Amino acid sequence: MGDAGVGSAAPGDLPMSDVDLRKASTVKVARYRSGRLWFMATVLVAALVATPVLALIWQALRGSSGLWPHLLAYVLPQAFQQTTALLVGVGVLVTLLGTSTAWLVTAYDFPGRRFLEWALLLPLAVPTYIIAYVYLDLLHPIGLVQGALRVALGFTSPHEFRLPDIRSMGGCIVLLGFVLYPYVYLTTRAMFLTQAANLVEVSRTLGSGKGGVFWRVALPLARPAIAVGVSLALMEALNDIGASEFLGVKTLTVSVYTTWVTRSDLPGAAQIALAMLSLVVALVTTERWARRRQRYWSSAQKARSFTPHRLGTVSGLLVFALGLLPVFIGFIAPASYLVVEAWKRVRFAGLSPRLLLETLNTVTLSAMATLAILLFGMIIAYTARSLPGRVTAALQRISTVGYAMPGTVVAIGILLPVAALDQMIDRAALAWLGAPTGLLLIGSGAALGYAYVARFLAIAVGSVEAGFSRIPRSFDHAARSLGHNVTATFRQIHLPLSKPSLVAAGLLVFVDCMKELPATLLLRPLNFETLATHLYGEAARGTYEEASIAALAIVLVGTLPVAILARVGRWKA
């Protein structure tokens, strides 16, 4: 890439000092006034996401450091060990499941491949807290599986025979792994489809075997995609509180929680949360640093999908069964369980009219938040591309930091500044207009939308960035040299060319907003229920059958976008 005006894709590669950047950007702004707009918008979005973190830092500073000796002695060693075990376990599992299934449906042709292509995404629709609850019930000594096993083996009571308890680290890793692998599947498959074709075929021509193609070409090529997918999955695992509560795994997130809730020590909780955040940022930075010397360029030719290898009947069926396994564990089994439980309840008590309104609330709120997140995601990713440099890279990192924090912590970080702003507006309105506005931002649900933005912007930025990275930079240069400014280039080149990844990002974000629980619980207005809060309420009350109706509704509403997502995946092909 010899174009000095636009610079390199990797910020580490052509280091620019701030002075350089200022000089460079002066030149740019003179040439492209619209570039400045993009930059300002990026600063604003980054500030929006940084605000809750700053609020937490402020909270943390208000506390004493008095709890650290106790934490260091009794809590953190254990929590750290559990967190590490969970992340390593889930990381390995999602990498294995996600990469292998993505390769199977891309490189091989077998009966049922088209079905698996999209079905492999279905577990995305199942929130971690639901999968944990369902399997806890199914695999309990008095549950369906062990009950059937006892009958088959001739035992009459769980006192005589029972399997090991699923409430363990191993159980938690497996359950989380089977609902989180689609993040890796999604990103990796897109990479296999669009990037690998030429190289795979070249390596086939040069005599590589099937294994060689996978290990030596496809896998290294897919590494950035795998890294993105795995880090999304790991953040979800790290911030999970529902599943670990059910399964008895005590991560650092649980420590944050205990400190805040049980001991009413918000500053202390903020301190732990920030320490955790620094750790995550360090890990992500290390991963990026480790592949700093690697470059991935796409050719300007239209990406082709490569011809899958046709399998025989027996091996085809075997591969199909193999690919179906994660779908079965992550979606079919829990969804069927929910259908049965929900049916029991509906037969007994009918369908609550609340459900329709709650579904509407859920869809409306999630859709609005998704649109905002997508817009912000495009701003960030496009600014990083068209005005590369340390500053934009830093802004991009900041804008994605919310995903690395537990939802409850983000929610508290948002509550503090937003409520303060609300009070200011209220007072100002009373003073100038003579009428109070009440809590405009919290009362309207805007605070909740903000929480979703802060929490899930990372997903949009990541996906959009991945989409942009498939557009050769020569396109940008051509458009610019033909006299288009930054905005026009975006509209004419990037927006149309990255549509599939925009849609994919939107759907992924939508499903995540819909499943979100802790921030929704804390920040929603009076009399406003979503499916997730309804589900939580029923579970808190212990009316699990009623809860299963809400859970099923979440899974169903989530399945729709996942199915669309799968179609989008096909356009890419």
Q: Hey, which residues between 408 and 437 contact another protein (CB under 8 A)?
A: 408, 411-412, 415-416, 419-420, 422-423, 426-427, 436-437
Sequential DSSP letters for 10-30: -TTTS---HHHHHHHHHHHHH
Query: CA torsion angle for 526, 528, 531, 533 (degrees, to 10)?
Result: -10
Nearer to another protein, 21 or 416 (CB): 416
The alpha-helical segments, DSSP class H, found in 120-251 are: 128-138, 144-153, 169-205, 210-212, 219-239, 242-247
64 binds another protein (CB under 8 A): no
Site for another protein in 126-145 (CB under 8 A): 136, 140-142
What residues from 253 to 282 belong to the interface with another protein (CB under 8 A)?
257-258, 260-264, 266
| Between 168 and 299, CB nearer to another protein | 168
CA distance 34 to 13: 26
How many helices (DSSP H) and strands (DSSP E) are in the chain? 27, 2
Site string for another protein, 214-253 (x = CB under 8 A): -------------------------------xxxx-x---
Convert residues 152-171 into a mask of x (bound to another protein by CB under 8 A) and - (unbound): -----xxx--x--x-xx---
Q: Identify residues 65-104 at the interface with another protein (CB under 8 A).
A: 70, 73-75, 78
Nearer to another protein, 100 or 271 (CB): 271
CA distance linking residue 14 with residue 7, whole number of Å: 8
Distance of alpha carbon 94 from alpha carbon 225, whole angstroms: 13
DSSP structure class, residue 400: T
**CB-based contact 56:413 (threshold 8 Å):** yes
Q: Which residue, 281 or 368, has its beta carbon nearer to another protein?
A: 368
For residues 286 and 527, which CB has a smaller minimum distance to another protein in the complex?
527
- Contact letters for another protein, residues 322-361 (x by CB under 8 A): ----------------------xx----------------
Neighbouring-strand partners of residue 116: none
Shortest gap between Cβ of 538 and another protein (angstroms)?
7
**Are 489 and 471 spatial neighbours (Cβ–Cβ below 8 Å)?**
no
Residue nearer to another protein on the CB measure, 62 or 114: 62
Q: Which residues, numbered 478-537, are part of the site for another protein (CB under 8 A)?
A: 487, 491, 518, 521-528, 533, 536-537
Applying CB under 8 A, which of residues 145, 279, 368, 563 lies at the interface with another protein? 368
**What is the SS3 assignment for 355?**
helix
Among 65, 278, 307, 444, binds another protein (CB under 8 A): 444
**C-alpha triplet 254, 525, 416: angle, nearest 5°:** 55
- Nearer to another protein by Cβ, of 79 and 213: the residue is 79
DSSP letter, residue 310: E
Nearer to another protein, 199 or 419 (CB): 419
Taking the least distance from each CB to another protein, the nearer of 268 and 389 is: 268
Residues whose CB is less than 8 angstroms from the CB of residue 8 and which lie 6 or more positions away in sequence, other chains included: 1, 14, 388
Distance between CA atoms of residues 25 and 324, nearest Å: 52
Measured between alpha carbons, how far is residue 158 from residues 8, 168, 570 in Å? 64, 19, 48
Q: How far is the CB of 38 from another protein (least distance, A)?
A: 12
Beta bridge partners of 310: 109
* Least distance between another protein and beta carbon 544 (Å): 6
